[in-house]
Amino acid sequence: MAIKADVQLDAKGLACPMPIVKTRKAIKDIEEGQVLEIQATDKGSKADLAAWAQSTGHQYIGTNEEGGVLYHYIRKCSDGDVAEKSFEPTISTEEILNKDGLILDVREEAEYAFGHIENAKSIPMGDLEARLDELDPEQEIYVICRTGKRSDLAAQKLAAKGFKKVYNVLPGMKDWNGPVVKETE
């Protein structure tokens, strides 16, 4: 069954946060009630776009995959600009080295395997909801991704589920200068 979309957006070949950045720009140009189709190849875009839509008040309709391309569908649900929620508190990548809490890496498994902070726990954003029982709601949790966008959405989700000591790590692994553990060697 073909899904009718009013506007198509090509985000193939782009990694986080670019599918969200392009989606945010494209959704501003469509009318309330219209459906935006986002074509992406980044596997993390499924969780990222669903969380982004929820945080901005738009309806995440779903995703189909065909030939290695993910087709995401989002309905614009408000008229005018939607204010995105941004998670506070934040902490810098340098500051987490001196902390005793859990570093939660919400990047995809492949991203984690090619370089992560020692002792970081990997729970990809798309698996977070189903794996909340692996986390202690009383522990300090430092959520990190590649750029800070996905971790922002994950931190919002944890806080909404009752986790009290959550921090979004900025700017993320792309600017991490500390040692990394690779599981690919």
Q: Is residue 145, in this structure, part of any structural domain at all?
A: yes
Residue 79 has pLDDT above 90, yes or no: no
For the segment 32-46, the average pLDDT, to the nearest whole number, is 92
Same domain, yes or no, for 108 and 149? yes
Q: Which of 9, 11, 16, 106 is catalytic?
A: 16
Query: Total domain count for the chain?
Result: 2
For the segment 4-22, the average pLDDT, to the nearest whole number, is 93
- Domain housing 11: 7-75
Q: How confident is the model at residue 56 (pLDDT cuts 50, 70, 90)?
A: confident
- Long-range CB pairs of 49-53 (<8 Å, 24+ gap) are 49/19, 49/20, 49/23, 49/74, 51/125, 51/150, 51/153, 51/154, 51/156, 51/157, 52/20, 52/23, 52/24, 52/84, 52/153
Q: Is residue 19, in this structure, part of any structural domain at all?
A: yes
Residue 16 is a catalytic residue = yes
Residue 55 has pLDDT above 90, yes or no: no
Same domain, yes or no, for 103 and 141? yes
Tell me the CA distances in angstroms from 95 to 99, 135, 155, one per residue in order: 7, 21, 17
Task: Provide the pLDDT for residue 141.
Answer: 98
